[in-house]
Chain A
Amino acid sequence: MNDLLTRRQLVTGMGIVGLGLLAGCDGSTTALNFKYGKDLSNKIMGRTFKLTDTQGEVKTLSSYRGLMPMVFFGFTQCPSVCPTALARAAQIKKIMGEDGKTLQVIFITVDPERDTPQILDAYVKQFDPSFVALRGTLEQTQHVAKEFGVFYEKEPIGDTYTLSHTATSFVFDSRGNLRLGLSPSLSAKQCAQDLLTVMEVC
């Protein structure tokens, strides 16, 4: 009797663990406990974007299935937060070692008028050759920003402009569920810890 009960308990326990794993992976929205970043598991954001990479290929979120996409919005003429975030992303990849290979950094330009595919490609690759940049028309850019809840705005300066924009890095799990928002104030180490939490789920 006692043996049976134990076994039953064990089976039940395994079932729960299994369910938990499934819940994490099948697109349902189990909240995750991040140490530093913001849990975005309950947000339905950034699922339908369709942009062009620097080789002219159309990319959607599912193009990165199996990887852990980390999306950052910016522009190449950004002097501060963009290069800092991309340099941090390169550092995160290094800190994560083997696990870092699944991290796919995606830079989406909010300045498609000035960021040509050539400039974008050279720009992101100098941080890490695995980084990709995506670009859309003005309309597509507006759409993708809206989809991510990203704010961006031109700031006129003389006869040209700079841009203000949201500087959060958005992380999806390998099944394409949005999971984590990383603030620009976090260190590479802190980000890496939270990214490992995402990887544990899926």
Chain B
Amino acid sequence: MNTLFSAAVPRFALRRVLTAALLASISLSAMAQTKVENAWVRTTVPGQPSSGAFMRITADVDSKLLSVASPVAKDVQVHEMSMNNDVMRMGRVDSVPLPGGKAVSLDPDGYHVMLMGLVGQIKEGDQVPLTLTIENDQGVRETVQVSAPARSMTDSMDMSHDHGDSH
């Protein structure tokens, strides 16, 4: 690492050091480079133990979404849905690639966040806190806090057709 820093441009090196210092501290949000938009969580009916969270993520450099946490669920996982011959397949993924500058949709048609073991019913209008852990191609991790509003089933259908992005 240090050999890299000593090469030529001191200002660049300084920035690196600062970044490292910031990383060491807890306040990572100051350097958030990842944009999260249109986040929402599906409402549940009483007794339903799980739900899904959906959003659009844009990282400025090649990154990956490592994990999501939320106080409303005991376990939060990222799943991928795929459709083959009208058979819907569901499975857990270790991470979601976030190519730099490209908006990646976590929607009902692909990757999505599963909130499992809900601590209570999610009602329309609730704000669900989500913490995303994202790692860039330098191995630098950042956390992004999101407050996702809960929307009903029928609403969410309209939403998924609203945001005319990459399907």
Contact surface of A with B, Cβ cutoff 8 Å:
76-81, 83-84, 86-88, 90-91, 114, 116, 118-119, 122-123, 126-127, 151, 155, 157-158, 160, 162-168, 181, 183-185
Per the bound structure, the CA–CA distance linking A163 and B79 in Å amounts to 12
Is there a chain A Cβ closer than 8 Å to B145's Cβ?
no
Contacts of A119 in B (CB 8 A): 45-48
- Interface of B: prevailing SS: strand
Is there a chain A Cβ closer than 8 Å to B16's Cβ?
no
Pair A91/B157 contact, Cβ less than 8 Å: yes
Cross-chain pairs A/B with CB under 8 angstroms, 28 sampled: A76-B45, A77-B48, A78-B88, A79-B81, A79-B108, A80-B112, A81-B88, A83-B156, A84-B109, A84-B160, A123-B45, A126-B153, A126-B154, A155-B90, A155-B91, A157-B91, A157-B92, A158-B77, A160-B75, A162-B114, A164-B87, A165-B87, A165-B88, A166-B86, A166-B87, A167-B86, A181-B86, A183-B86
Contacts of B156 in A (CB 8 A): 83, 87
Pair A127/B154 contact, Cβ less than 8 Å: yes
Contacts of A79 in B (CB 8 A): 42, 50-52, 79, 81, 108, 112, 114
Q: Which residue of B lies closest to A183 (CB)?
A: B86
Contact A167 B48, CB 8 Å, known A83-B156, A84-B108, A162-B90 = no
Pair B90/A87 contact, Cβ less than 8 Å: no
Q: Which residue of A lies closest to B85 (CB)?
A: A166
